[in-house]
Structure 1
């Protein structure tokens, strides 16, 4: 098995080796910008396939290495610098950055989260009932570089409201975030479903507020690569994202097995101070909604894993223009077809999906 770097690998250390080819034992190591900052089993939709028992990546000549990031902004900088090969793409952050700096030439090639996994949460007794009520409020976000800021702006802009009187307060994760909500240091929090589920696990009672209608219909997670990689490493990218597609289907069909396989690959992430059974119960709660968001909606006309559409990217541009208060964003970005690519998707999906489901259902720990 490849030696994996410590989860807390510093970006500065990467700078010392960024120019070296990421190759080991004829396997191309594809480094991913991990904006969750920690590597835990919520990422089993990627990591399960790294287990030798599944071998979804190395069979195609690739493997994945996680590099922790503190924010989406840092992830974009790392992609530009070549410190990582692929990373998350949140349109509300990515598109204004690309318009401002044309040298940031990234293309979204795989939609890993086809359903909207963002949430708005408040205390049960809060007067906030709809997203419109967020205007002028103190909004809790994981960090100042977190997507929660842009998501709030996007939803308010959809409603024709401004966020100029909102205050965005970094409250972190888990217990600290729960305390900020309990003690009314913030009026609401906007974050991914896995982050708010972790807050509920520490005992904080939350009420979920519906997302705005238009925003709720959009996917919430893509993976992007430098455009040059599409030409230079097409075969490796197909193998990488096919491995992710297989891991996603497997973990959706058998979440317990996905968690076990993650722990087998990353033993450092196993629970400390509590039993494995307790940890598994917590993870099942955290991923109760997320595991379905990994998969296409049943009514989605395109059921291919990772596929995007021009219509959704036009909607992403429109919302990013509103949230960034830049009415010229579409003009500055140019042809929206350049922002995403489906050119790998048919090759990525060239496997028997039902066979992966059956493998997952019959898998023995």
Structure 2
């Protein structure tokens, strides 16, 4: 990571007419912001963040920041990394985040940027499964990536929406990719609840899946927020604005030109490029994996608040109500107190202060 960053900083300085600079001097000008990567692997599904690191784009460098990944195995571990200061920002799921805040109000975390405004959860079953709806999953064996995975909360939430309990459900850790797919095909689980990208990784292996429709209300909610420490928000506000503005630009770029975003990711992180297959094969796989995710990065056209990264008080109140039910803690709302304390839009106007049309045009014209 350090070598990549130094190399790109030097190129970036040359590319903007600043003249040659030492890599040491260039590195000292940027504040490195570590992010928890709960996917556990470094690949182009992170293109919505990494695109802006390219020296011809410099979405982060122009803001005085850079991004560094810390791989983690789950959302739970990612949140722990935030609490301990191992990372500066990372993804949180309301179903995990809110009960933790209710239990310990001194955690000092706040959701500051909504990175996945559409619902990226999926429920998959075998093609010949008798399961047709979420209601059919009551009392079934549900596969999830790990015991700390938000898929558990997603299933609880959908069953509650239908007025059903999940007390008889079993949640079984099945991992990712092939092992997860085999667990389903060999009927060790009745269904898998996961994210769109993880289900696509199962399908790529030639394992056929059938997608069960999400429940109506749950289908309309967002999936992911980026969380920071309140202390960081206060002390490094400018850096966070630059960081999230860089992510917003990178997201627009990756959505507008996914093929080049993949190229950029591979150029910056060559170790993430698959070695066991051709580049064309690897590209087709990534395009398949991200076919749904690239749209889930974007807000809907009819969203009341079109600002990239924005949250609403109404959705967080709904998240709190849902978390209270899924965690079986009727006092959760009272323990949290003011719902405004769990999220902030303080940075969002500044984050969106850039020419979005220009970024989209730049993406469409870009060729590595």
* 1:155 equivalent among 153, 158, 161: 158
Aligned match of 2:188:
185
Say if 2:107 is the partner of 1:110.
Answer: no
Aligned match of 1:87:
90
The 1-side partners of 2:34 and 2:154 are apart by: 26
Contact 1:86 1:225 in 2 (8 A): yes
Aligned match of 1:10:
none
Unaligned runs of 5+ in 1: 6-22
The 1-side partners of 2:293 and 2:65 are apart by: 26
Aligned match of 2:22:
none
Q: Shift of residue 239 of structure 1?
A: 0.3
SS state of the match for residue 243, structure 1? Answer: helix
Unaligned runs of 5+ in 2: 6-25
Q: 1:216-231 residue pairs with structure 2 within 5 A?
A: 216-231=219-234
Aligned match of 1:204:
207
The 1-side partners of 2:338 and 2:319 are apart by: 13
Q: Shift of residue 229 of structure 1?
A: 1.2
Contact 2:4 2:268 in 1 (8 A): no
* 2:324 equivalent among 318, 321, 325: 321
Aligned match of 2:73:
70
Q: Shift of residue 2 of structure 1?
A: 3.8
* Root mean square deviation, CA, Å: 1.3
Contact 1:4 1:65 in 2 (8 A): no
TM-score, normalisation: structure 2: 0.93
Say if 2:40 is the partner of 1:37.
Answer: yes
Aligned match of 1:240:
243
Aligned match of 1:139:
142
CA deviation map 1:286-343 (0-9, x unaligned): 1111000000001112111100001111111111111111111111100001111011
- How many residue pairs end up in the alignment? 348
The 2-side partners of 1:160 and 1:92 are apart by: 18
Deviating beyond 6 angstroms after TM superposition, the runs of 4 or more aligned structure 1 residues are none
* 1:359 equivalent among 354, 359, 362: 362
SS state of the match for residue 320, structure 1? Answer: helix
The 2-side partners of 1:210 and 1:105 are apart by: 36
Q: 1:290-329 residue pairs with structure 2 within 5 A?
A: 290-329=293-332
Contact 1:158 1:319 in 2 (8 A): no
Contact 1:308 1:340 in 2 (8 A): yes
Contact 2:161 2:215 in 1 (8 A): yes
* 2:133 equivalent among 130, 133, 140: 130
Out of 153-162 and 137-146, give the one that drifted further.
Answer: 153-162
SS state of the match for residue 3, structure 2? Answer: coil
Contact 2:113 2:244 in 1 (8 A): yes
Aligned match of 2:3:
3
SS state of the match for residue 34, structure 2? Answer: strand
The 2-side partners of 1:356 and 1:229 are apart by: 28
Q: 1:259-278 residue pairs with structure 2 within 5 A?
A: 259-278=262-281
Q: Shift of residue 24 of structure 1?
A: 4.1
SS state of the match for residue 68, structure 2? Answer: strand
Contact 1:158 1:322 in 2 (8 A): no
Aligned match of 1:28:
31
Q: Shift of residue 145 of structure 1?
A: 1.1
Say if 2:17 is the partner of 1:47.
Answer: no
The 1-side partners of 2:99 and 2:65 are apart by: 32
The 2-side partners of 1:141 and 1:24 are apart by: 40
The 1-side partners of 2:94 and 2:307 are apart by: 21
